[in-house]
Amino acid sequence: MDRYALFGQAVSQSLSPRIHQRFAEQTQQSLTYTAQSVAPELFPQVLESFFATGGQGANITAPFKTVAARYVDQLTPAAQLGAVNTVLPLGDGRLLGDNGDGIGLVKDLQRQQLLLPGARILLIGAGGAARGILLPLLATQPAEVVLLNRTLATAAQLAAECTKLGPVKIAQPQRLHHGVFDLVIQATSARSLDALHPWLASLRWEAAACYDLNYQPNTTPFLQWARQQGASRLSDGLGMLVEQAAYAFQCWRQVLPSVEALLHTLRRELA
């Protein structure tokens, strides 16, 4: 039976094995998919061993997306900003790094009518999660994407890499007072987000749709906080998770599973 796996630092509660098993049943594919927590210093060896022993595909999650981009032999255009969440063997011993996060995010945003051409987008974070979603966001032709990050130099580096790709700017936290955005996307760690709360509180939240790349039962801390600030259009990242899983499944198995019924089922189970 073909083997697939998710590698991350704390993935024991991940829904990904359940999602891929449902996809396999739906498409009549024979495979196994497991979630493996890995210590940072062991990640390269674990990934190499997985493929050396016959692994057919891997998903990568925090904090290894940028590490994986440096480790694979070739990157797809979707991973050109240096973040990988899907790895495929090329058949000659080399590994291909791809990223379906942004594709999954855009599909979920469009499903919920939260993303329109010409939107002003505030992207909180400039790490591997932000790098994985930025290119597909720019492809929707927003008016601008503004990066807000605890470390300004990290945001500046990412913006510089996007100079020829689209309208990406850096947010100066002290200048966010009464800022108006159509969409606010949370793509950072809780610790980093806490440090930005004083600056974020000054935004006009009633005008923004808010999307957290994370998901958990009920709601995430960011979405709860955004509601307290006056935001009313709120969504977590469960739809993105299912959509990017479908993208990876298609890359590996050459068949695209249906996501709608599974997404509704997972929503009910999480509730």
Cα separation, 241 vs 216, whole angstroms: 12
Q: Are 81 and 105 in contact (CB under 8 A)?
A: no
Q: Where are the alpha helices (DSSP H) in the chain?
A: 16-27, 43-52, 65-71, 101-111, 128-139, 152-161, 190-200, 221-229, 238-253, 260-270
Buried b (16+ CB within 10 A) or exposed e, 204-216: ebeebbbbbbbbe
Cα separation, 195 vs 10, whole angstroms: 23
Q: Which residue among the candidates 65, 107, 164, 169 is catalytic per the annotation? A: 65
Is 65 labeled as catalytic in the residue annotation?
yes
Place of tokens 């913006």: 159
**Active site amino acids:** 65
